[in-house]
Amino acid sequence: DADTDADADADSKNDKDESSGLSFVIVVPKCSMKKTNNLVDTFAAKSFKKMLGSPHFSKHIVLSKSAHGYIEASQHLRPTRYKESQYDTSIIILQSKGAKVKNHLIGESFEIKIREAFASRHLLELSERREKSSSVSTGTVTKDPIV
């Protein structure tokens, strides 16, 4: 029967999908779970709760606004490349069953690497700019001789 064959094919495909290693890393502003009359906040909280309650949910990492930064899209228009975050950020890991077995993204070392990757570089950039400016104003900048 054609329907039975189609169902069997679909079940086989789902089994393959579950055993394959699919991982999704979702980076969004941290969502407030407080009741609000703001429609955008209400829908954001609803989708946020769905991700955290998903059978594919593996890990939720919250980066405080003071602990991370980013490169702004208009970096070419600004004197500095990096910006400090103004909001806490959520990193949500969703994985297939196969990925949970194959990739251990929920381990402590993964979280450490994420936090290092998102660490703000804004103050370092400002410090380097001040140092470079100071070197130029005191004449201590050295140039390689032209050969």
- pLDDT (0 to 100) of residue 147: 41
Q: Supply angle C-alpha 36, 41, 42, rounded to 5.
A: 70
8 falls within a domain: no
Output the pLDDT for position 145. 47
For position 142, what pLDDT does the model report? Answer: 53
What are the DSSP calls for 4-66, one per residue? HHHHHHHHHHHHHHHHS--EEEEEEEPPP-S--S-HHHHHHHHHHHHHHTSTTEEEEEEE-GG
In total, how many domains does the chain have? 1
- Domain encompassing residue 40: 23-133
In a domain, 144, yes or no: no
pTM of the model as a whole: 0.64
Which pLDDT does position 21 carry in this prediction?
85
pLDDT tens by residue, the chain, 147 residues: 555 555 555 555 555 556 678 999 999 888 877 777 777 778 888 888 999 999 999 999 999 888 877 767 776 676 666 777 788 889 999 999 888 887 766 778 888 888 888 887 766 766 777 777 777 666 655 555 454
Q: Encoding tokens for residue 89? A: 């950020």
Cα radius of gyration (the chain): 24
